[in-house]
Amino acid sequence: MSAPLLHVSHVTKVFGGPKPVTALQDVSLVIPGEPATITTVVGESGSGKSTLANAILGFLVPTSGRILFAGRDVATLRGREWLAYRRQVQAVFQDPFSVYNPFYRVRHVFDTVIRRFELAHSRREAQRMVGEALEVVGLRPELLDKYPHQLSGGQRQRLMMARAYLIKPRLIVADEPVSMIDASLRALILGILLRLRDEEQISFLYITHDLSTAYQVSDEILVLYRGRVVESGDAQKVIERPEHPYTRLLISSVPVPDPRVRWEVGRMPEDLDVD
């Protein structure tokens, strides 16, 4: 059994202020070193899923607990090690527009990482790499010279995935990558996720509130509710044989696209006491 790629160990995060908020409470998860997997964290708003993503990406430090990447505590990385971490762990975010600097053409996104991570040693090599990344996501090179507002949301999101692919990280944190994309394009983007896992051995931490997409792409699922993990395990098992009442509630609330199978009349969420 190889060392885990990512080990989130009993992480708690409390945000201070007049009324302290516990965003994460004793959360643990493990992403194995091999084979590449897609681990999904499912949670609604207030579950702490974004806080978890930010902690793993190094944007905030846990109040207690540790986040270990390939055995090293992320909070202790500095300088060159920090840059190396950045190279190994990348992200795709929810809003495909705000992640682009409106001042530059979209090629800026690639040029920046090629330069910073020294991914190519010549212009030609850089061009070839970018071309290949675009092919993986199904985009034409002509799009590189456009400005962000000239592309559609789906194209922008795919471009971000191409950027992540270019860096060839070991782990990509995908925080709601398709929730702002049209339904008919979601399969396309999730398909890219699967291909990157299978062909490039890139693992994913997929964060979403949408159980259906989680079911389709995940190997493992963790269900987060109010900062705690209430259920975890093999994706198929969690969805098909859920144990925790909250998981069951989540699953039964997903609207099935079949008019013959309608929701049972449920209780109001405020009435529920799931702790």
Partner 1 sequence: MSSVTLDEVVPEMVSAGGWRTSPWLNAKFLVGLLLVGLIVALGLVGRLVWDTDLARVGSAPLNMPPFWVTGGSLAHPLGTENSGRDLLALLIVGSPATLRIGVIVGIVSIVLGTLLGFTSGFLGGWVDAVVRTLADATLTIPSLAILIVISSYVRQLDVNTMALIVSLFSWAGPTRLIRSQVLSLREQGYVRMARLSGLSSFDIMFREMMPNLLPYLAASFVGHASAGILAAVGLEALGLGPQRVPTLGMTIYFALQSSAIIRGMWWWWGFPTLVLVVIFVGFFLITVGLDEVANPKMRRAR
Partner 2 sequence: MKSSHAHDAEPVLAVRDLQVMYATAHRGVLAVRGVSFEVRREETLGLVGESGSGKSTTAMAVLRLLSPPGRVVGGEVRLQGLDLLRIPERDLRRVRWRQISLVPQGAMNSLNPVMRIGDQIRDAIEAHEGHQPPGRLRSRVSELLETVRLDAGVARMFPHELSGGMKQRVCIAMAIALNPALVIADEPTSALDVVVQRAVAQTLLTVKRQLGMSMVLIGHDMGLQAQMVDRVAVMYRGHIVEIGPVLRVFEQPVHPYTQHLIASVPSLRARQPLRAAPSLDPEEVRFEVGRLEEVGPEHFAAVGRREG
Positions touching partner 1 (CB under 8 A) are 57, 59, 82-83, 86-87, 90-91, 93, 95, 97-104, 109, 112-113, 116-117, 147, 149-150, 152
Nearer to partner 2, 218 or 232 (CB): 218
CA distance 227 to 154: 31
Chain positions 184 to 223 lying near partner 2, rule: CB under 8 A, are 184-188, 190-191, 194-195, 209-213, 215-216
Smallest distance, Å, CB 169 to partner 2?
A: 21
Indicate whether 21 belongs to the interface with partner 2 (CB under 8 A).
no
Indicate whether 3 belongs to the interface with partner 2 (CB under 8 A).
no
Smallest distance, Å, CB 20 to partner 2?
A: 18
Cβ(23)–Cβ(63) under 8 Å? no
75-91 b/e with 16+ CB inside 10 Å = b?
eebeeeeeeebbbebbb
Cβ(53)–Cβ(207) under 8 Å? yes
Indicate whether 255 belongs to the interface with partner 2 (CB under 8 A).
yes
Specify the DSSP class assigned to residue 4. P
Sheet holding 6-15, edge to edge: 21-31, 6-15, 64-69, 72-73
Given partner 2, partner 1, none, residue 236, with its beta carbon under 5 to 8 Å by kind, binds: partner 2
Given partner 2, partner 1, none, residue 258, with its beta carbon under 5 to 8 Å by kind, binds: partner 2
Indicate whether 120 belongs to the interface with partner 2 (CB under 8 A).
no
Structure tokens at 113: 């990482």
Environment class of 204 (CB within 10 Å of its CB; exposed 0-12, middle 13-18, buried 19+): buried
Smallest distance, Å, CB 202 to partner 1?
A: 15
